Chains A and B, each alone.
Chain A
Amino acid sequence: MSDHPLAPLTALARDTPVVEKIGGITITENPDLAIASLAVRHGRELDLQTLLTPVLGEDLPGPGRAAFLEDTAAIWTGIGQWFLMSPVAKHPDYAWDMKYIVKDTASVTEQTDGWVIFDVIGDSLSPLLERICNLNVNAMSDGDATRCLIEHLGCLIICRESGRNISIFGPRSSAASLHHILVTAAKSVA
């Protein structure tokens, strides 16, 4: 993408990411991740893995798991499906970049602006998560990733550090509602 004069907004319709510090919990909107979905073509699993392993440094993660690599993260999102993520500054057209790598072994779709991402950090996130979703948070280990509902919104939750550092992916158009849910829950448990 060339330089162009159109200024982007974050999912919360701000120029800069919103950061909320509530008690020991920090909720930060993260607009800096480029996301591309990957869906393997029929019978091309091994070919896809062969093409991606040099890039990722390891195999794509299995069900319920995420892999964090140097500047790329991968989340299993369904059978033969993953989200790949990388800094948007490095990959302003990430889907195109990934398509170039995986060729016809997988379908790649731009998902960067389909989601709002909130990074949530704190000494103990269990009380917060108990109030917003039905995940057994205490049973989540580093690298676990799963879909769940938060107030009717289909979300992805990635556990970066058990009980202390998670990322919540929610539908971008409902970013304000999801943010409201997180902030009010955080205040409730603060």
Chain B
Amino acid sequence: MSGINRLDGGQIDRNNVLTFSFDGKRYSGFGGDTLVSALLANNVRLMGRSFKYHRPRGVFTAGSEEPNALVELRSGARREPNSRATVAELYEGLTAQSQNRFPSLRFDALAFNDTLASFLSSGFYYKTFMWPVAFWEKVYEPFIRRAAGLGRLSGEEDPDTYDKGFLHCDLLIVGAGPSGLAAALTAGRAGAEVILAEEDFALGGRLLAESGILTDRLASDWIEEVTAELVALPNVRLMTRTTVFGQYDHGIFGAVERVSDHIPEPQPNKPRQILWRIYSKRALLNAGATERPIPFENNDRPGIMLAGAMRAYANRWAVTAARNVVVFTNNDDGHRTARDLSEKGVDVAAVVDCRHNAPTSADFEVIEGAEVIGSRGRLGLKAVKMRFKDGSEREIACGALGVAGGWNPNVHLTCHKRGRPEWNGDISAFIPVKSEDSALRVAGAAAGIFSTHGALQSGAQGAIDALNDLGISARFPALPEAEDAPVNIAPFWYVKGGTGRAWLDLQNDVTIKDINLAHQEGFRSVEHVKRYTTLGMATDQGKTANIGALAVLADIEGKSIPEVGTTIFRPPYTPVSIGTFAGRSRGKEFRPYRLTPSHKWAAEQDAVFVEVGNWLRAQWFPLKGETHWRQSVDREVIAVRKSVGICDVTTLGKIDVQGADAAEFLNHIYCNGFAKLPVGKTRYGLILREDGMAMDDGTAARLAEDHFVITTTTANAVSAFRHMEFCRQCLWPGLDVQLISTTEAWAQFSVAGPNARKLMQKIVDTDHDITNEGFPYMACGEITICGGLRARLFRISFSGELAYEIAVPTRYGDALIRRLIEAGKEFDVVPYGTEALGVLRIEKGHAAGNELNGQSTAAMLGMGRMVSQKKDSIGRVLAGRPYLQRVDDYRLIGLLPVNLDSVILAGAHLMNVGMESCAANDQGWVTSAAYSPHIGSSIALAFLKKGDQRHGDVIRIVNPLSDGDIEAKVTSPHFIDPEGERLRV
């Protein structure tokens, strides 16, 4: 029941039988299996179709570098395409589907592409879809989109959550093979804070995949012993199922922990994966090595795989891809695969060794000086064709071929900060550049040390050296005795000759011919060849492909491989899902939001909320029967003009400015004067940037000689505070001034309208005089309300009406809005939202964010004379530049449509009557527009060239996006009470 290809031994739990399905067919495997090992055990070699040609493909590796065995894992909303079946742990009920085929894996209609190979060579996109131009959008793009990609997204929202976290350690050890375990043991015993991260679900790395490489004990015993000790050490954190995918600045590494991928679905409230940011003082890379293939004609058939993977499947998972196998090698490691398989009872038909001094064996035939030159078997390997050194050929029947071309150290993480590896001729591979002062050291196979003895020793020494940097003394541990075989390899990169295709990049279907063609077409740089052919650009990032392509290029150009150079490795080392990067920042929790003190009450009134930065503000308060937002907004505006309304204005930035030099400080910050502002008074202020452009505006209230409270716009609350802190700390450190934000600390409401005073008098304690005489326009003061609650009162207005802003400690904001509404019933008080606020300020001609957009000057806003020339302030000098003082500059004006039924849209541009609508004739633009219930028509604010001299003119408002072209009369921007009498009553 466990499959006909199951062998003896292995590290699987045969008592734990697991059922799973692949393409709807049910199979069984064991605990400890991966999806691939279980499929192989069940004699399934065909696992997918290739990207471009839809060629039948089987598993190629036994790890995360897999280019072929990509599947859609799980089902429904949890379906995850392009999952590497080699690292998918088997669990009960696992479902997987093959991808990139129609209608079935065995019969794929799109395999027709394979017959068009000569038209689909490298760069075919650029050559094929050039003409006719009209075909691009209607024909080519839909076709490409349909054909592109491998697996299918579910199209549903991911039901799982993803977490993120932060870790700190003295030493991060990446990889828990022999060198990683030796390092962890060394550092752990020394008392250092250690993180040992391993992408596999089991510790041991290559020790799990080999037999007999420890010579004084079983590898499994040593792994168990070390694991037990590490688990017991409180200073060591073991993280399995964790891939360190990137190295960043200052010892920071990115890692993904797959918490729940090995179970059907996450436990309640638990994440599927965690994105860790690891802050390490030192790191040791023990990422091992990846075996490389030797490309030959038709080297992509299911059953052809890396020899090391074939050995790993036999030793660790007790499976073989077939009962009769052949090994093709250029080094001794291929013979190790043949030996292990033979000992497991697999028929090794032959070892084809391209060297002329290959070792011999009594257990299987070794054919030296020979090459595999082809293969046969459409959906699975049936035979390989080989060529003897005398040129004669022979076919050998086999179900699987192991290819051993040597090993490449996994140097990827050492290159993430632009490090370039160096060539080592002894092992015919790139190794990391040695750097003694690097915070990232490398040990074991990742450093090009391929013997187990060397891995153990270098791991322990690497930990000692890293900790020595930190002043932590560590002792070399007793380590097991292990094989110490030298690397015996004859570089052999690909089989020459033949007319068919030999595959370099299996995932992106790139062949040796493609590299040749790219070179013929003039691509010389390896980076250009990569992009033109798409070599190494699939999700496996060409881990098994790149070096072969470099060798082909080297041959073409008559150079050595290091002379050809390498492409740059970038994070992530293996694919990381977008959901993992997003973490919990999704949907409603995409970012933190801010609630106003009256939010709870407003929600009870069914207010419609709008996002303003992170704030949720009430946009309008619909009443029963109001079916359109304009009905609500018009009603709110009219109510304010007619009686009184209340608006939560807590979101405006509030900054507490104190100190003996507070007034002088503000005198420098604002372009207008503040030194002489009396205590108890508020003043409008405009902040300029150094370049003279308007930055922000607001009010400053002087509560004491050495104490101001200033307000900023909601949008600029943070940037204005940051600007002021910069000025305080860096520009004028000699001034005695202290700043702190109090935006959150006070709930502030605007009470506006002719009846505002009457309403306020009902809540302000009677010992405070708020009559026009006792508390005139622009007054401010600290008062009490409602029988003793301390509050701040400001006589300021954004609406143009008699208005107050009342502030209380935030915890009382909810109670205050309720009290104001209750007390205001006799005046038909209304709450009003940001829409009405906007209409009111446009009617009054007050500038807001649309006008203060970073492109406007004080003069444009009609405030040129506010820029005091009697004192120095930020922006004063550059505001006086001739260009900013030119008379034909834009000026803020009002616009009233000639036809009152016309609607003005913000963003429209202004053109003179009779002139062509084009950029050359542009006269300005509409900044803000609204329907004014007071005027009874659409109105707008705009910047118009020489606008202050053109009141009464008629201008065209042109909106090319909606073919709008209406005429409007240029007016003062003050549609309401231009003399400001209402404010002062």
Q: Which residues of A contact B (CB under 8 A)?
A: 1-11, 13, 31, 37, 39, 41-42, 81, 93, 104, 107, 109-115, 130-131, 133-136, 138-139, 151-153, 171-178, 180-181, 184-185, 187-188, 190
Contact = CB atoms under 8 A, between A and B. Distances in A.
Contact of B788 (A2, A37, A173): A2
Contacts, number: 153
Nearest to B592: A177
B2 interface: no
A33 B95 CA distance: 55
22 contacts: A1-B784, A2-B784, A2-B789, A3-B787, A9-B600, A13-B814, A39-B658, A42-B659, A42-B660, A107-B659, A107-B706, A130-B165, A134-B277, A151-B585, A172-B745, A173-B743, A174-B592, A175-B595, A176-B593, A181-B584, A184-B584, A188-B161
A110 B788 contact: no
Given A13-B599, A41-B736, A8 B166 contact: no
B745 A113 contact: yes
A113 B809 contact: yes
Nearest to A39: B738
A136 B279 contact: yes
B817 to A, nearest CB: 10
Contacts of A6: 786, 789, 808, 812, 815-816, 819
B168 A139 contact: yes
Contacts of B534: none
Contacts of B819: 6
Given A131-B165, A136-B168, A188-B163, A113 B811 contact: yes
A42 B656 contact: no
Nearest to A186: B269
A113 B810 contact: yes
A152 B784 CA distance: 36
Given A6-B786, A114-B744, A173-B744, A151 B738 contact: no
A151 B786 CA distance: 38
Interface string B806-836: 0011111111100100000000000000000
B166 A109 contact: no
B790 interface: yes
B660 A109 contact: no
A187 B706 CA distance: 48
Most buried by A among B165, B279, B596, B746: B165
B592 A112 contact: no
A1 B167 contact: no
B615 interface: yes
Given A39-B658, A41-B660, A114 B742 contact: yes
Given A2-B788, A3-B787, A37-B740, A131 B809 contact: no
B965 to A, nearest CB: 44
Contacts of A180: 589
B175 to A, nearest CB: 22
> What 9 A-B pairs have minimum CB-CB distances, sorted nearest first?
A2-B788, A107-B658, A177-B592, A39-B738, A113-B810, A114-B745, A8-B811, A173-B594, A187-B269
B711 to A, nearest CB: 15
Interface in B638-690: 650, 656, 658-660
B251 to A, nearest CB: 13
B660 to A, nearest CB: 7
Contacts of B813: 9
A134 B811 contact: no
Contact of A171 (B584, B744, B815): B744
Contacts of A174: 592-595, 614
Contacts of B193: 138
A178 B659 CA distance: 33
A31 B810 CA distance: 12
A4 B788 CA distance: 6
B584 A1 contact: no
Chain B contact residues: over half helix, strand or loop, or mixed? mixed
B25 interface: no
A147 to B, nearest CB: 14
Contact of B786 (A5, A31, A190): A5
A131 to B, nearest CB: 5
Contact of A109 (B274, B279, B656, B816): B656
B833 to A, nearest CB: 17
B659 A1 contact: no
A42 B736 contact: yes
Given A5-B786, A9-B600, 7 more contacts: A2-B784, A13-B599, A37-B740, A42-B736, A110-B809, A151-B592, A188-B271
B269 A152 contact: no
Interface string B921-939: 0000000000000000000
Nearest to B274: A131
Interface in B496-516: none
A138 B706 CA distance: 43
B781 to A, nearest CB: 15
Contacts of B789: 1-2, 4, 6
Contacts of A187: 269
B815 A7 contact: yes
Nearest to B167: A130
Nearest to B707: A107
A110 B599 CA distance: 22
B528 interface: no
A111 B659 contact: no
Contacts of A138: 168, 193
A4 B279 CA distance: 52
Interface in B721-756: 736, 738, 740-747
Nearest to A3: B788
B270 A188 contact: yes
A112 B812 CA distance: 12
Contact of B812 (A8, A136, A178): A8
Contacts of B418: none
B956 to A, nearest CB: 44
A172 B168 CA distance: 29
A93 B790 contact: yes
Nearest to B584: A184
Contacts of B163: 131, 185, 188
Contacts of A188: 161, 163, 269-271
Nearest to B662: A107
B742 A110 contact: yes
Contacts of A31: 811
Contacts of B592: 151-153, 174, 177-178, 181
Contacts of B624: none
A151 to B, nearest CB: 6
A188 B168 CA distance: 20
A114 B655 CA distance: 12
Contacts of B600: 9, 13
Contacts of A110: 742, 745, 809
B969 interface: no
Nearest to A178: B592
Contacts of A7: 812, 815
Most buried by B among A4, A110, A139, A190: A4
B790 A109 contact: no
A175 B600 CA distance: 13
B630 interface: no
Contacts of B816: 6
Given A4-B789, A111-B745, A113-B809, A130 B595 contact: no
Most buried by B among A2, A10, A109, A112: A109
B339 interface: no
B644 to A, nearest CB: 20
B745 A112 contact: yes
Contacts of A2: 784, 787-789
A2 B789 CA distance: 7
Contacts of B786: 4-6
A65 to B, nearest CB: 20
B282 to A, nearest CB: 15
B659 A172 contact: no
A172 B810 contact: yes
Contacts of B815: 6-9
B870 interface: no
